[in-house]
Structure 1
Amino acid sequence: MSGSIRNISEDNHLFSLLCEGSKEAFDQIYNLYWKRLLVYVTNAIKDKEAAQDIVQEIFISLWLRRETIPHSGTLAGYLYTAARYKGISYIQANLKESKHADALIAYFSERQDSLNEDFAAKELQLIFDKGIENLPPKMREVFVLSRKENLSYKEISQKLNISDKTVKKQISNALKHFKLILNESYFVHILSILTIFTF
């Protein structure tokens, strides 16, 4: 049996014990996932103190709701989905600050973890993808290489035979485009839907 399969099996066993009210199982889950979730949320919202509060809220709620949590899917999927919604809710509350708009853009342009996503999260991803499609061709190419393929400005400039300055300008203009999207009523509406599902 592979390590990943074994870990999923062990996690699901802990999840089952937690749902039965086991404090020991909760402590093990906390120790296993606290740091991972903190890194995940911090990378998304760019605020470590706020991320610590969010992760703490997730574990408090996990313990308080331990006997009523629907035991479907994986433990990791449940925790990371909770972290995703908490992060989105935090960004929504701070949407007027450009650094949080950038965080949201980065959040959804990262490679997605293989977690269970509900309709609202998928809908938001579709809106973001549509925004990429609407970029001018050259800007879209630069943005995709940067945010989807994780190439550096230098790597992009070499690949496309353009200057670093041009790459930086194209990325900057693309981010401005997405900030405008963030102000569209439908996009904000989707964000408000997501808060309904907040853990």
Structure 2
Amino acid sequence: MIPDYSIYDDSKLVSLLIERDNMAFSEIYSRYWPILYKHAYRMLKEEHESEDVVQEVFTKLWQRAPSLQTDISIGAYLYMATRNAILNFFSKNQVHHAYLVDLGSFLDQAQEITDHRIRERILSKLIEEEIEKLPPRMREVFELKRKQNLSYKEIAGVMNISELTVKTQMNKAISTLRTKFGNNLPFFFISL
């Protein structure tokens, strides 16, 4: 007789999934697909793309099943995987700005602290990628200010340039980043 997997809690299903149990995978899929689809649809606003994102998440879950930790929260894992898949989708389609606008409104909703940290890391990564694209001198000025918290005068001394040049380079760097991220550029990433 085949056991009723619907009575198993998530931790039991994860243990079985790690052992490559198809029925455990099917139960996890049945439990979480509708929730993940709704989340993907809310962010993507397109049926087929939302379905593709969620399908990709479950495909990767099956592929990575043997390496999962037994104490993993499968709901949190799938939610984070869906968020990452959505980010990858946006990244591939060059619509970071639209995502950040949606993310801004999404931030207004009550979420767990873990979710906030994940979003901060994602935003930080996107901003770091844009900082890497800055011209070398501008990037050096920006990073000396942001990472080492040096004053304009100190930066001018380190780089052997004038304070006015430092200020000009900082303003251009911030302007470039604001052009990429609009008003959604988080203040805590550029606290000057």
TM-score tier, shorter chain, comes to 0.5 to 0.7
1:122 is matched with 120
CA deviations over 1:104-158 (Å, ceiling 9, x no partner): 333444322x37459553345789xxxxxxxxxxxxxxxxxxxxxxxxxxxxxxx
Tell me how far 1:68 sits from its aligned partner.
Answer: 1.2
Query: Which residue identity is paired with 1:58?
Result: V
Tell me how far 1:96 sits from its aligned partner.
Answer: 3.8
Superposition pairs of residues 1-199 of structure 1, within 5 angstroms: 10-96=9-95, 99-112=98-111, 114=112, 116-117=114-115, 121-124=119-122, 180=179, 182=181
Query: Which residue identity is paired with 1:121?
Result: R
Partner Cα distance (1:46, 1:104) in 2 = 13
Larger Rg: 2
Specify whether residues 94 and 117 from structure 1 end up closer, same or farther in structure 2 by C-alpha distance, changes over 3 A only. same
Specify whether residues 16 and 116 from structure 1 end up closer, same or farther in structure 2 by C-alpha distance, changes over 3 A only. farther
CA deviations over 1:71-114 (Å, ceiling 9, x no partner): 343110111111111112222333448654533333444322x3
Query: Which residue identity is paired with 1:122?
Result: E
Query: Which residue identity is paired with 2:21?
Result: S
Q: Which segment drifts farther, 116-125 or 82-91?
A: 116-125
Partner Cα distance (1:76, 1:115) in 2 = 15
Secondary structure of 1:65's aligned partner? helix
CA deviations over 1:4-55 (Å, ceiling 9, x no partner): xxx9x80111111101111110010111111110001111222221110000
Gapped runs of 5+ residues in structure 2?
A: 1-5, 126-177
1:174 is matched with none
Specify whether residues 17 and 28 from structure 1 end up closer, same or farther in structure 2 by C-alpha distance, changes over 3 A only. same
Higher RCO, 1 vs 2 (CA within 8 Å, ≥6 residues apart) = 1
Secondary structure of 1:71's aligned partner? coil
Partner Cα distance (1:98, 1:121) in 2 = 14
Partner Cα distance (1:115, 1:79) in 2 = 17
Specify whether residues 95 and 22 from structure 1 end up closer, same or farther in structure 2 by C-alpha distance, changes over 3 A only. same
Partner Cα distance (2:26, 2:86) in 1 = 23
Specify whether residues 62 and 89 from structure 1 end up closer, same or farther in structure 2 by C-alpha distance, changes over 3 A only. same
Report the TM-score when normalising by structure 2: 0.54
Report the TM-score when normalising by structure 1: 0.52
Partner Cα distance (2:106, 2:90) in 1 = 10
Aligned residues: 129
Indicate the RMSD between aligned Cα atoms, in angstroms. Answer: 3.6
Q: Is the 8 A contact 1:94 1:100 kept in 2?
A: no
